[in-house]
């Protein structure tokens, strides 16, 4: 699954540390999400979407194999 998290976060001038604190996860989790090394739980995906006031589909792109 691809995502636009880094693009959206940097466009809003938010640091990884700030986002991690707001979502109650580690900065490493944010980094792993942005690098595509980790897919979020549905709960975390909803938290991220709500934080940015976007839909999950605006952030995460599901690609069928």
Which pLDDT value is given to residue 1?
87
pTM listed for this prediction: 0.91
Sequential DSSP letters for the chain: -EE-HHHHHHHTT--HHHHHHHHTS-HHHHHHHHTTS-PPPHHHHHHHHHHHT--HHHHEE----
Confidence at residue 62, expressed as pLDDT on a 0 to 100 scale: 87
pLDDT of residue 63: 82
pLDDT attached to residue 60: 96
The residues of the chain scoring below 50 in pLDDT are: none
For position 29, what pLDDT does the model report? 98
User: What whole-number distance in Å separates Cα of residue 39 and Cα of residue 33?
Assistant: 6
13-25 confidence digits (pLDDT tens): 999 999 999 999 9
């Amino acid at each position: 699954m691809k995502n636009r998290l880094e693009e959206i976060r940097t466009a809003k001038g938010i640091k990884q540390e700030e986002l991690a604190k707001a979502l109650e996860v580690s900065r490493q989790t944010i980094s792993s999400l942005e690098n595509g090394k980790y897919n979020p739980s549905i709960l975390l995906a909803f938290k991220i979407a709500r934080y940015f006031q976007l839909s999950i589909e605006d952030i995460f792109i599901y690609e069928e194999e």
